[in-house]
Amino acid sequence: MTCQVKVLPSGHSFGVEAHETILEAALRQNIGLPYGCRDGACGACKGKVVDGDVEHGGAQEKALSAADRAQGLALFCCAKPKGDITIEARELAGIGDIQIKTLPCRVEQIEKIHDVAVLKLKLPVSERLQFMAGQYIDILMKDGKKRSFSIANAPHDDAYIELHVRHQPGGSFSDYVFSAMKEKEIMRFKGPLGSFFLREDSDKPAIMLASGTGFAPIKGIIEHAIHHGITRPIVFYWGARTPADLYMAELAAKWQAEHSNITFIPVVSDALPEHNWLGRTGFVHQAVLDDFDSLAGYQVYACGAPIMVEAAHKSFINDRALPEEEFFSDAFFLSKDMSGNK
């Protein structure tokens, strides 16, 4: 049985087959609902069921509380309609026009920086991946599993797809990347995916917040903004455990040196005396709280460890008056064998 879903305020409608979640059906029919992990963990796809009922599926408590459910909220990546329903969700302009493809690619280059492998993937000559800066792809492994990684380059610079893979000892994919992957080998991926990208219809100053390899999508977004002459102020905070974990700090410093609207603030949480670190210390979201009394007129883009994203979301909205609709995030969730970043 096909159930019909009406989306407010746009008025768009689409059908959901019995085996599909609301999000799966929306993506299949180019309806631009926001989403992130697609696994009921991040809450990016949360919206309101205005009329009708849904099965909540595998929604996790931290992303959809009992109070949320009582208010009629649901995670559309998990929820399935029990009949025709009406939902309320912010549709994203442009994202519904981008085709999600499954494509082969060739590993063109592997560069290892500290404990991060920077992969450059080459598409077939006849193919091109249209994407928005900040989105991600799923690497499709031979055992049927998938690993999600953010695209680290901007769309204008699409000769290669660039991924940043941190080595997670014991993780099957990252162990493979660091010990066995060879240039020229062939892989398959699906994408682009996700709704983490710069909202270009706003001229508000942007705070960009990354931990670890959360730098990857921020890199794509900032390089996109530079390429298109976007001059709104951008303050980029990058948090890591040690100075070495800021594996492309020179690039971020170069952005600041060459563009007056960009400020780069590195933050290290576990600096030791031998590191000779003279910069900011502590948690990266706390650095933002220390620097801003109010975020009422800002947009925030946060990417990286879930604990950082969740802490930033809570404190920025509750303590610094950030409008909830101006917080955009992509939390990296490790797979059970620690092989992926979402």
CATH number (3.30.360.10, 1.20.120.10, 2.40.10.10, 3.10.20.30) of 3-95 reads: 3.10.20.30
Confidence of residue 230 (pLDDT cuts 50, 70, 90): very high
Confidence of residue 339 (pLDDT cuts 50, 70, 90): very low
Give the mean pLDDT of 75-97.
87
- Per cent of the chain over pLDDT 90 is 79
Q: What pLDDT does 334 receive? A: 55
- Per cent of the chain over pLDDT 70 is 96
Using the predicted structure, report yes or no on whether residue 248 has a pLDDT greater than 90: yes
Give the mean pLDDT of 223-239.
97
Q: What pTM was estimated for this model as a whole?
A: 0.87
Q: What are phi and psi of 224, to 5 degrees?
A: -65, -45
Length of the chain in terms of residues written: 342
Give the mean pLDDT of 304-319.
96
Using the predicted structure, report yes or no on whether residue 135 has a pLDDT greater than 50: yes
Q: What pLDDT does 336 receive? A: 43
Q: What pLDDT does 30 receive? A: 83
Q: What pLDDT does 142 receive? A: 87
- Give 341 or 293, the one with higher predicted confidence: 293
Q: What pLDDT does 341 receive? A: 53
Q: What pLDDT does 338 receive? A: 40
- Give 299 or 34, the one with higher predicted confidence: 299
Name the average pLDDT for the chain: 92
Q: What pLDDT does 144 receive? A: 87
pLDDT digits (tens, 9 = 90+) for 149-177: 999 999 999 999 999 999 998 888 999 99
Q: What pLDDT does 218 receive? A: 98
Three-state secondary structure along the chain?
CCEEEEEECCCCEEEECCCCCHHHHHHHCCCCCCCCCCCCCCCCCEEEEEECCEECCCCCCCCCCHHHHHCCEEECCCCEECCCEEEECCCCCCHHHCCCEEEEEEEEEEEEECCEEEEEEECCCCCCCCCCCCCEEEEECCCCCEEEEECCCCCCCCCCEEEEEECCCCCHHHHHHHHCCCCCCEEEEEEEECCCCCCCCCCCCEEEEEEHHHHHHHHHHHHHHHHCCCCCCEEEEEEECCHHHCCCHHHHHHHHHHCCCEEEEEEECCCCHHHCCCCEECCHHHHHHHHCCCCCCCEEEEEECHHHHHHHHHHHHHHHCCCHHHEEEEECCCCCCCCCCC
Give the mean pLDDT of 291-317.
97
Torsion of CA 191, 193, 197, 202, to 10 degrees: 110
CATH hierarchy code of domain 206-331: 3.40.50.80
pLDDT digits (tens, 9 = 90+) for 267-295: 999 999 999 999 999 999 999 999 999 99
pLDDT digits (tens, 9 = 90+) for 198-229: 999 999 999 999 999 999 999 999 999 999 99
Using the predicted structure, report yes or no on whether residue 342 has a pLDDT greater than 70: no
Q: Which CATH class is domain 99-193?
A: mainly beta
Cβ count near 182 (within 10 Å):
7
Write down the domain spans for the chain.
Answer: 3-95, 99-193, 206-331
> Six-digit token pair at 113?
């920086």
Give residue 231's identity as a one-letter amino acid code.
T
pLDDT digits (tens, 9 = 90+) for 184-205: 999 999 999 999 999 999 999 9
Rg over CA atoms, the chain: 20
Q: Give dist(CA 85, CA 25) in Å, integer.
A: 13
Q: What pLDDT does 97 receive? A: 75
Q: What pLDDT does 36 receive? A: 82
Q: Give dist(CA 327, CA 286) in Å, integer.
A: 16
Give the mean pLDDT of 81-109.
89
Place of tokens 């996700």: 194
Q: What are phi and psi of 88, to 5 degrees?
A: -115, 120
Confidence of residue 300 (pLDDT cuts 50, 70, 90): very high
Q: What pLDDT does 143 receive? A: 86
Nearest to 249 by CA among 121, 114, 158: 114
Q: How many CA atoms lie within 13 A of 304 on its CB side?
A: 26
